[in-house]
Amino acid sequence: MRTKRTLPGFTLIELLVVIAIIAILAAILFPVFAQAREAARKTSCLSNTKQIGLGVMMYVQDYDEMYPTNVWGGAPIGTTDNVLGKDTITAVHWVWQILPYIKNRQVFVCPSDPNPKSGWTGYSDVQDDCWGIPTPISLGHNQMIFGYAWNKADPCGWGEFPDWAAPGVGQAAVPTPASTYLIADYARGFMETWWINNLRAGNYTRVYDESAPGGGATKDGEEPWKSRFAQENVFRHQSGQNITFADGHSKYRKGRQITSGEDWMDGFHAPEGLFVREY
């Protein structure tokens, strides 16, 4: 008599063991994949900042070693390569001054910026917004170098600026260009010494919709900044940001390495990370 032959199969225990192993491997590998993707975005952003640095240096060579200058009194951009058109009035002109050397507005957007259309870094698609930057942007600039020169035509109707308004400067006016921050992943539009924490944590305004506290490292022991500064999501790239320096080179720096250049704010003498200097 012929007996029925049964096919071998997996027991329930064996299936559960396999599923458990897959779950463990996934838990181990998914963070690794996420870090690899972020490393790629960091490299892409660094490449963008290097292009920007090269564009600034080319501009400097063409304009008697002067850095680009913002026109706080407002002036038409003069190019259609933005979201509003060439007649758009804006106080922030450095982007449009170096754009002919770069020819790609996408370099101003960091791939790790969750909202490059944030008003915190100046984006605006409103025609009469003199403070607005009519292109997505993830970066801030050192306004003590790019300045804020007054335009006598004053199409924004602001009147004359007080005596703290400052024109842009030339290369000779920057004593340590290789260690002076020029353009960087930044949580606000204008880099200032007091607001150094918005550079130390470049996505802070995106996460909390408020400026990081002023005062630099002197605030590191205070809440809620202390807890928030320990969270990965407040940074652009793996606990740090990409920075272009005043000599045109770019590099990545950890948030806790970034200094204001002011001893009382940094808590130590930091000659290598000068942020904004009074000239």
Cis amide linkage into residue 224, ω under 30° from 0: yes
Q: Are 222 and 95 in contact (CB under 8 A)?
A: no
Q: Where are the domains of the chain?
A: 14-266
List, for residues 7-26, the tens digit of each pLDDT value.
Answer: 566 677 777 888 888 888 77
Non-local (6+) Cβ contacts of 184 within 8 A are 49, 139, 140, 191, 199, 202, 241, 242, 243, 244
The residue assigned the tokens 């680009």 is: 68
pLDDT on residue 277: 45
Q: Around Cβ 161, how many Cβ atoms within 10 Å? A: 15
> Which residue ranges in the chain fall short of pLDDT 70?
1-10, 29-33, 150-155, 158-165, 268-279
pLDDT on residue 273: 44
Residue 108 one-letter amino acid: F
pLDDT on residue 45: 96
pLDDT on residue 261: 82
Euclidean distance between CA atoms 31 and 28, whole angstroms: 7
pLDDT on residue 82: 87
Q: Are 213 and 164 in contact (CB under 8 A)?
A: no
Q: What percent of the chain is modeled with pLDDT above 90?
A: 51
List, for residues 90-119, the tens digit of each pLDDT value.
Answer: 888 899 999 999 989 999 999 999 999 999
Mean of pLDDT over the chain: 85
DSSP assignment of 193-206 equals GGGTHHHHSTTHHH
pLDDT on residue 163: 57
